Structure 1
Amino acid sequence: MSRTVTLALLDAAGAPLGALPPFDVPSPWWQDVAPVVAEAQRRYGVDVAILRLLGGDDTGTVGGAVTYLGQVSERPAAPLVPAELDLTADPLRAPFAEPGGPARSLAWAKGELRRLGRPAETANQQRTWNLSAVWRLDGPGGTAWLKQVPAFFRHEAAVLRWLGRAAPGKTSTLLADDGDGRMLLDHVPGEDRYGAPIEERLAMAADFHPVQVRSAADVAELVAAGVPDLRAPHLAGWIRDRLTGHDISSVAGLLAGLEARLDEVARCGLPETLVHGDLHPGNVRACAGKHVVIDWGDAFVGHPAFDVLRLAEGLDAASAQSVVEEWCARWRADVPGCDPERAVELLRPVAALRMAAVYAMFLEGIEASERVYHATDVDACLKQALGPAPAL
């Protein structure tokens, strides 16, 4: 599957120039802008920074036709076609989606790399969407990554700093951050493990377990550093607050009983820890048998079972059960007398509710043209929450 791209352009001052004729790129994922930038250069000799999504057809956010807004420093030699652009300011627009935003962020990143003795010679845009903008910077000192995130993910830098001290080698090395969503990360070799088989997921869970055990003693420090506090006293209210305005009639009973359910979870005796929040194999990089967990924007302090439930998703029932059983065995060994099996079962519907609330938070915190990325996610998670769950 491919995309047909229309690329509307602004000049260096942010004034509209028109659009390049539509062209195809092989990657279907709308947030993947590296092939868009490369094809614009190959076809038209245009060096462009993609600012944001303007719209697309009804294929969702994969394949089909899609339109982006980009910025160039010089007017292209290629002929442009007229383009109707709505350039109205949006208070929810990310700084990296504003004219001049990528240039400002790259200037910051290159300055930090010079300070570190690792000057960048090239910078290539990889991704941009409502959750992040990512650039690869290469130079004689190696590869680094500029990642910029919106306000609701700004605690990621605090998580990376803690991990760098408490669990070195388990995640990306934070080289610098500006406290306002920009992070400079060292390169992690390997490949993202989307679709990893059961054997590898078991290894991922085993590798990650010591991180959560270690974090239990530091949850207050993490919360003080800005990591969201979704421990039991806060979680139920946080979920309900974010689902305000959505049709929650199908899960009204579950929402009403959340406090009682979470009280039962607490009686299972597991500590609350740092939770990655989106621990699927695509957020784990593997190289030479070593697993490194990346992308901590969804992280929070809460119950560790949320991560094993995410890691087991997409597996057949028997394989998913193996992941959960090994996870439970490790916690029983570390916390004698705890009941991790019951905690997992009690939290299954809560995990889906939490994800519905996360997607609702995204929709509330991003500009209108970007909401297409999450348009169906809240309802899908609410439906998932209605699956079988144990009685209290």
Structure 2
Amino acid sequence: MQALGKGFAVTRESGVRGQEAGSGAGEHEAGRGVLPQATSGSRIAWAAVPEEVVAGIERLLGGRVVDAVSQPGGFSEGLAARVRLASGGRAFVKAASTSAAPAAAAFHRREIEISRRLPRAVPVPRLLDAYDDGDWVALIFEEIPGRLAAQPWRRDELDRVLAAVTGLVQVLTPSPVDGEFLGGPRLGGWAALAKGVSSVEGSAVKRIDALSPWAARHLDELAALEEGSAPALAGRTLLHGDLYPFNIMLTAGRVFVVDWPHAWVGAGHCDLVTLLASVSLSGIDPQPIAEDHPLTRDLDAAQIDAVLAMHSGFLLRIAASAGPQVDRHLVDMMVALGRASLRWLRERL
């Protein structure tokens, strides 16, 4: 999921009212909601990519692209397409312009470096090549003949994915990528909201009450959970950092995890906890799964609570602060996933 850039404007029309209209006001205490549309509203077609960029990508592909089909899933701006060459070869290409979509381009450059460092044993599409002319940046991956995980979840597919997460942790511990290169995780937000460190935060706190009255009433307690979360996050595993259904592809025999720009190094259970929080949007109770899964069944309860607090704080703070220029699909997704994490945390507490 693409992160929102710093310095975005906050206005009265900044999207919380849209959330209330589209998702229903309040917290949905009785319902579980649904997973919103998981495709950026800022995708472009292959035909919209400048000719010189197309030519550069085709040189790397080794042939002319005769067909390109945009793909669903994810929130990156720019191109995301399966392409077919005149020779019959196939690949997956995603690309963005630094001048038009600086955040997406920065994530693409980061993903290039991460993808180059991933071991062959990791179930990810192989990065075949990359293009960067200083403005446009493109990643060329092998095409995976699969599909996104079905939503709502089918239990057999969820079980496959849960087993694959265990395998990922085994392969990626210790991390093959230097944690200092990656930096910290995209987690946390309640502490900043509680402190009201800026006018943006002050406006966001007012909107939090519309998204979750319970969170607004317990802001200090959520901030305390977040501020004590460091031990629950510490570890040596390379984590995906955005492990949701729209980044999971299934083939007949394998589970692939795509889109790695938000990877970080930490505790092996963190990706699983955030994924489990999202399954409630399919009407599945995450608690029994967590109690049975090998990555979480022996954890102290406070470790899971800390991850849920950090995760919900990040998502709902960003959603509550988003200006009208931000992709509404992304905001809808953040609100749905943030509420799901918060709901599970509240039930646990």
- Root-mean-square deviation (Å): 4.1
Could you tell me which amino acid in structure 2 is paired with residue 135 of structure 1? A
Task: Identify which of 170, 185, 190 aligns with 1:213.
Answer: 170
Aligned to 1:373: 329
From 314, 318, 341, give the equivalent of 1:354: 314
**Using a 3 Å threshold, how does the CA distance of structure 1 residues 281 and 68 change in structure 2: closer, same or farther?**
closer
From 92, 101, 121, give the equivalent of 1:145: 92
Counterparts of 1:277-296 in structure 2 under 5 Å?
A: 277-296=241-260
**Structure 2 letter corresponding to 1:353:** G
SS in 1 for 2:279: coil
Corresponding letter in the other structure for 1:183: L
Match for residue 172 of structure 1? 125
Distance 1:384 1:282, change over 3 A: closer
**1:29-48 correspondence to structure 2 within 5 Å:** none
| 2:291 paired residue number | 325
**Aligned-pair CA distance for 1:184:** 0.5
SS of alignment partner, residue 166 of structure 2: helix
* Structure-1 separation of matches of 2:252 and 2:338: 39
Does 1:301 pair with 2:265?
yes
Q: Among 50, 54, 57, which residue is 1:106 paired with? A: 54
In 1, Cα distance between the equivalents of 2:220 and 2:190? Answer: 17
> Does 2:261 match 1:314?
no
Range that drifts further, 278-287 or 314-323: 314-323
1:158 equivalent among 110, 113, 117: 113
| Aligned length in residues | 280
Q: How far 1:141 sits from its partner (Å)?
A: 4.9
Q: Is the 8 A contact 1:192 1:285 kept in 2?
A: yes
**Helix, strand or coil for the counterpart of 2:112?**
helix
CA deviation profile, 1:89-108 (whole Å, cap 9, x unmatched): xxxxxxxxxxx744343222
Which residue in the other structure is 2:146 paired with? 190
Give the aligned residue type for 2:107.
F
Q: How far did 1:339 drift?
A: 2.2
Q: Give SS of 1:177's match.
A: strand
Q: CA deviation at 1:204?
A: 1.2
Quick one: distance in 2 between partners of 1:324 and 1:146?
Answer: 36
2: CA distance, partners of 1:67 / 1:237: 26
2:48 is aligned with 1:120: no
2:238 is the counterpart of 1:274:
yes
1:216 aligned counterpart, secondary structure: coil
Residue of structure 1 in register with 2:184 after alignment:
229
Whole-angstrom CA distance in 2 between matches of 1:71 and 1:141 = 18
Query: Does 2:226 correspond to 1:262?
Result: no
Provide the residue aligned with 2:28 in structure 1.
Answer: none
Q: 1:222 to 1:104 in 2, by over 3 A?
A: farther
Q: Distance in 2 between matches of 1:141 and 1:254?
A: 58
CA change 1:175–1:348 in 2 (3 A) is same
Distance 1:390 1:67 in 2: 37
Quote how far apart the aligned CAs of 1:185 are.
Answer: 0.9
Gaps of 5+ in 1: 1-57, 73-99, 333-337
Greater gyration radius: 1
Higher relative contact order (CA 8 A, sep 6+): 2
* Deviation, structure 1 residue 302: 3.5
**C-alpha contact 1:275 1:302 (8 A) present in aligned 2:** yes
Whether the 8 Å contact between 2:69 and 2:82 is mirrored in structure 1 is yes
Equivalent position of 1:199 in the other structure: 156
Q: CA deviation at 1:263?
A: 4.0
Quick check: 1:346–1:390 contact (8 Å CA) kept in 2?
no
Check the 8 A contact 1:134/1:146 in 2, yes or no: yes
* Whole-angstrom distance in 2 between the partners of 1:105 and 1:376: 32
- Give the whole-Å Cα distance in 2 for the aligned partners of 1:272 and 1:358: 27
Structure 2 unaligned regions, length at least 5:
1-17, 23-35, 97-103, 207-215
Does the residue aligned with 1:144 lie in a helix, a strand or coil? strand
Tell me the secondary structure at the aligned position of residue 84 of structure 2: strand
Deviation at 1:245, TM superposition (A): 6.1
C-alpha displacement at 1:290, in angstroms? Answer: 1.3
Q: Which has the higher strand share?
A: 1
CA distance in structure 2 between the partners assigned to 1:68 and 1:127 by the alignment: 9
